[in-house]
Structure 1
């Protein structure tokens, strides 16, 4: 699953992106990978491990909602559907 969000440029600030990805790890569990920064840059990366898919999806939704409150807009979602809230 992947969610890509952007916030437009504002006066003296360049446009920014925030990307969330769920990825099954090789052992047992799921990783929530966050990548964010100015559009056109590599940005920063953070990875959190969760023991099951439900925990990882809950974390993904929580981070997505926090970024939506900050003004980001979802540009596209890819992958499996999330459970309804």
Structure 2
């Protein structure tokens, strides 16, 4: 599952983005990857590990909803 969110550009700066990806890992757990940055610039990648799929899905939904509340718009997403 993934979601790509984008925040509108302000002034001369490039728009900000957030990519959320939820994947199963090799040990039966789940990884939530958060990549943030400016389009065309550097980005930062954070990885969170979860043992249960429900817990990982709740973290994914919470992260997505928090950024939507902050003014980001959902550009692409899948479940």
Please indicate, yes or no, whether the TM-score normalized by the shorter chain is above 0.5: yes
Q: TM-score range by the shorter chain?
A: over 0.9
Could you tell me the TM-score, scaled by structure 1's length? 0.86
Could you tell me the TM-score, scaled by structure 2's length? 0.92
Number of corresponding residues: 79
* Aligned residue in 2 for 1:49: 49
Root-mean-square deviation (CA, aligned residues, Å) is: 1.1
In the TM superposition, residue 46 of structure 1 has moved relative to its aligned partner by: 0.3
In the TM superposition, residue 4 of structure 1 has moved relative to its aligned partner by: 0.3
Unmatched segments (≥5 aa) in structure 1 = 81-85
Show structure 1 runs of 4+ deviating over 6 A: none
